[in-house]
Structure 1
Amino acid sequence: MFGTRFISEDRGKLYREMREQHGPIAPVTLVGDVPAWLVLGYRELHQITGNPGLFTRDSSVWNMWDQIPPDWPLMPMVGRQPSILYEVGDRHERRSTLVSDALRDVDPFELRTHSEQHADELIDAFCGSARADLVDEYAMQLPALVLARIFGFTGEDGAALVPSINAVVDGSDGAIEGRQYLQRAMGTLLRSRAIAPAGDVATRMQTHPNSGEFSSEEILEDMMVDLIAGHQPTADWISNSLRLMLTDDRFAASLGGGRASVGEAMNEVLWEETPTQNIAGRWTTRDTQLGGRRIQGGDLLVLSFAAANADPHIRPDQHSFTGGNSAFFSFGHGSHRCPYPAQEIAEGIARTGIEVLLDRLPDVDLAVDEEELAWRPSPFLRGLESLPVTFTPTSAVGGR
């Protein structure tokens, strides 16, 4: 699963070959020769995510634990942690309600204002140079800045969080230190809001009717999940959409100031280059049959959102334009899907970021041939390493 073909640009071809050879469920090996099942079928993914009793998020039932070393590289993805990601049953439902309600009350006007403000600030930093890397200098900055603001951080404190967030996401040498910094900052914010409440996510997380059921550590962990998991997919959604708009003639009108096709390009990306490609995962609570395969109790299932989105059973014409069809798996499905308010926040940040950039730099163009653009070597996420562009230099606006 971690071979060079899996992280190549033509990952869709690999999924097709796996489906032809194995059907909707393919046996794979993770790093360290750890066996798992890769779920390729749309219907099978729907079945798994809709039946948490049989396909649980609780990794404690995994039948491989006695063979997994403590320093296994994928431990952060499967090891049980005190966050909502690993909660199950009624407790997960109540915890999910807390998180969803705290995010649902984010003011759309405030979200748009923060998104425009930070987008302008980032563009101001490079708009006079005629060149920029829209991944490093823009997409990988904007979501974290906006999310930090709506959570309750000041603009200055939010900016200080960005390097740590990106270190955690990248899994770089500074990932552990970055996570520790985020934990300290989040803890400080939550303690301050316990004393002086405000109209932000941190306050609502602690004052929700369900908050008394969960420890301060659990609330802090859920805030961390919201921040980190909200940042990276949104950053890739921005850069992947900009790449599509700069390389596909169907969206050329957007670069001339049109806005309708911005949403169309964003929707197309969620089908074709979804930021969250594969996740680990689900574990079977008993022996079962799935996609013609005999799955043992305790087996690990890796869910391939990318492969399911391209399943020929639901998309027989892979070359047709998806238009406004939003039946993709990019945000998951079932009780553990990305909360709808979080999805709306991500869409608001991404769309505003793209629109502001195109308004400010209407003649933006790729600085390299499309074939030179490289994807990050990750089997789980889909995002560009860089997106170098050129444009006519312009003056900073100093915020809107």
Structure 2
Amino acid sequence: MDSATSDARIPSGATVPVPLGGPRFQTEPARLYREMRREHGAVTPVVLDGGVPAWLVLGYRELHQVTGDPVLFSRDSGLWNQWDRIPADWPLLPMIGRGQPSILYTVGERHRERAAMISDALEAVAPSELRGHAEKFADGLIDAVCGRGEADVVTEYAMLLPVRVLARLFGFPDEQGPGLVTALNDMIDGRERALAGQTHLAGSMARLVAERKAHPADDVVSRMLADRSGFGDEEIVQDLMVMMAAGHQPTADWIGNSLRLMLTDERFAASLFGGRNSVADAMNEVLWEDAPTQNVAGRWAARDTQLGGRRIRAGDLLLLGLQGANSDPQVRTDGSALTGGNSAHFSFGHGEHRCPFPAQEIAEVIARTGIEVVLDRLPDIDLAVPAESLTRRPSPWLRGLSRLPVRFTPVPTL
């Protein structure tokens, strides 16, 4: 396809659209979002890979309006007015989806039934069981590095922990965890291996569903299959893929981004030496200032409308600029006014398609347990490289560190 600078069909009212990619999403996203808001307003014209046009909603109020009106701003991707120019190998297809019978693209009453099925299956996870799994896998990962005196707590820890816990809750054998990690990362990064990652994940989920249909157990998949709302196997497979993708990578980045904050900001120094209250503070600040999920695709306009002074046409794609909205100066008159214990951020979404509350709780337990195990097991942990040398993965969608090298006094395994 053409590059993002070709004569793409830019949505009505746009002038020079912003390519949704490039190094600034990794190096200076806060400044980039400020510039986009200043030059284009709360609703910014952007182009995706291949010159595909869309709108990025950066305003807090505008994002609240979009996510709070599922009729006008639908999750039905079939409405998109650009499908005729999307090739079968477009790398963002796993994130946009067409014809995927998952909860992401279901609307109305069927969506509410589906959300209830997922919430019930997740809510049945016992808190003690969840924390026990998280501690077990976290300790195992620390055991693999604790004798060395140095480690990369992103690639050797945070990127491995959430999927191991989720795989256990779903019913996967532990040995399948590493393959699921690779597939998920490939799919979410939206690059050349995205479709291969999606295929691996779909096959793994389909095999697990077939196994649990024949041999039910006390796990999330078995509970979803036992639901009486009449969902088919393929629908459950698709939902499990969504749950795994949404639960793994953002949680891994929540761990990594929180540890980075605690290791580089003197406000959290006490927590590195036995304090624990500031772990929650750091995690919440990350959700406001360094959200793991920066931008989300998306919503589609069901008819012509106006939003943020822009003329939105029927079928236009609107991307949810979660981090941009979190830092909207219209609601953030003071840089720290809405952090602390305030959870009015968009990091878990909003409205009918918001991340289900039981899923949020599971992610928080995994992330907090993961951070606390690091601080408990490696009490003198310190950053091993200059803070300014840390880099982010090349994705405008998720914001996570590519590495977080640390050093510590070697300690014995458990």
TM normalised by structure 2 equals 0.91
Q: Cα distance, 1:43 vs. partner?
A: 0.5
3-state SS in 2 of match to 1:144: helix
- Please tell me the residue identity of whatever aligns with 1:41: G
Alpha-carbon distance between aligned partners in 2 of 1:173 and 1:41, rounded to the nearest angstrom: 31
Q: 1:179 to 1:22 in 2, by over 3 A?
A: closer
Change (3 A) 1:109 1:71: same
Match for residue 324 of structure 2 among 307, 318, 325: 307
Q: CA deviation at 1:308?
A: 0.2
Q: Does 1:114 align with 2:126?
A: no
Partner of 1:71: 89
Match in the other structure for 1:357? 374
Structure 1 counterpart SS, 2:47: strand
- Counterpart position of 2:164: 145
Of the structure 1 ranges 157-166 and 288-297, higher mean CA displacement relative to structure 2 is found in 157-166
Q: Give the CA deviation at 1:71.
A: 2.5
Shift of 1:77: 1.9
Equivalent residue for 1:240, pick from 257, 265, 283: 257
Q: Deviations over 1:241-290 (max 9, x none)?
A: 00000001111111011110000000000000101000111111111111
Name the SS of the counterpart of 2:32 in structure 1: helix
Alignment-derived partner of residue 297 in structure 2: 280
> Could you tell me how far apart the structure 2 residues matched to 1:67 and 1:179 are?
21
Residue 175 of structure 1: how far off its partner (Å): 4.7
- Does residue 148 of structure 2 align to residue 136 of structure 1? no
CA deviation after TM superposition for structure 1 residue 195, in Å: 2.8
Partner of 2:61: 43
CA distance in 1, matches of 2:130, 2:249: 18
Partner Cα separation in structure 1 for residue 325 and residue 228 of structure 2: 37
- AA at the equivalent of 1:11: P
CA contact 2:26–2:396 (8 Å) conserved in 1? no
2:413 is the counterpart of 1:396? yes
Aligned length: 395
Alpha-carbon displacement from aligned partner over 1:327-368 (angstroms, at most 9, x marks no partner): 000000011111111110000000000001100001111110
In structure 2, the gaps of 5 or more residues are: 1-18
Q: Does 2:306 align with 1:289? A: yes
Task: Tell me, yes or no, if the aligned pair for 1:25 and 1:39 is still in contact at 8 Å.
Answer: yes
Q: Distance in 2 between matches of 1:297 and 1:2?
A: 22
- Residue from 298, 301, 304 that aligns with 2:315: 298
- Mapped to 2, the partners of 1:98 and 1:368 lie a distance apart of 46
> Is residue 2:123 matched to residue 1:104?
yes
- Write the deviation string for residues 3-46 of structure 1: whole angstroms up to 9, x where unpaired: 53542421111111221222211112222222211111001000
Cα distance in structure 2, aligned partners of 1:369 and 1:385: 15
Aligned pair in 2 of structure 1 residues 71, 347: CA closer, same or farther (>3 Å)?
same
Summarize deviations over 1:94-117 as a string: whole Å, max 9, x none. Answer: 111111111111111000000000
Shift of residue 72, structure 1, vs aligned partner = 2.4
2:412 aligned counterpart, secondary structure = coil
Take 2:377 and 2:136, find their aligned partners in 1: how far apart are those partners?
A: 13
Q: Alpha carbon RMSD of aligned pairs, Å?
A: 1.6
Residue identity matched to 2:233: S
Distance 2:168 2:28 in 1: 37
SS at match of 1:281: strand
Who is 1:61 aligned against? 79
Q: Distance in 2 between matches of 1:395 and 1:91?
A: 52
Q: 1:264: which partner in 2?
A: 281
AA in 2 matched with 1:76: P
Per-residue CA deviations over 1:122-171 (Å, capped at 9, x if unaligned) read 00000000110111000000000000111112333445533333333345
The DSSP-based 3-state class of the residue aligned with 2:116 is helix
State the distance in 2 between where 1:352 and 1:73 align: 34
Cα gap change, 1:41 to 1:172, in 2 (>3 Å): closer
Task: Compute the displacement of 1:66 (Å).
Answer: 2.1
Given that residues 102 and 204 in structure 1 are in contact (C-alpha distance below 8 angstroms), is that contact kept between their aligned partners in structure 2? yes
**Identity %, equivalent residues:** 62
3-state secondary structure, aligned to 1:126: coil
Contact 1:5/1:14 (8 A) holds in 2: no
Deviation at 1:62, TM superposition (A): 1.3
Q: Distance in 1 between matches of 2:26 and 2:206?
A: 40
Q: 1:163 to 1:289 in 2, by over 3 A?
A: closer
Q: What SS does the corresponding residue of 1:37 show, helix, strand or coil?
A: strand
- The verdict on how the C-alpha distance between 1:138 and 1:49 changes in structure 2, with shifts beyond 3 A counting, is same
Structure 1: gaps (5+ residues): none
Decide which of 266, 271, 277 is 1:249's aligned counterpart: 266
Q: In 1, distance between residues paired with 2:82 and 2:198?
A: 27
Map of 1:344 onto structure 2? 361
SS in 1 for 2:346: coil
Task: Confirm or deny: 8 A CA contact 1:236 1:382 kept in the other structure.
Answer: yes
1:4 maps to what in 2?
A: 22
Give the aligned residue type for 2:258: S
**2-structure distance, mates of 1:173, 1:180:** 13
Alignment-derived partner of residue 205 in structure 1: 224
Letter in 2 for 1:14: L
TM-aligned CA distance change 1:33 to 1:172, over 3 Å: closer
* 1:126 counterpart = 2:141: no
Runs (4+) of structure 1 moved beyond 6 Å?
A: none
Per the TM alignment, residue 228 of structure 1 is displaced from its structure 2 partner at its CA by 1.8
Partner-residue secondary structure (3-state), 2:299? strand
Looking at structure 1, the residues matched to 102 and 370 of structure 2 have their Cα atoms a distance apart, in angstroms, of 29
Counterpart residue number, 1:385: 402
- Secondary structure of the equivalent of 1:35? strand
Task: Give the stretch that moved more between structures: 185-194 or 169-178.
Answer: 169-178
Shift of 1:295: 1.1
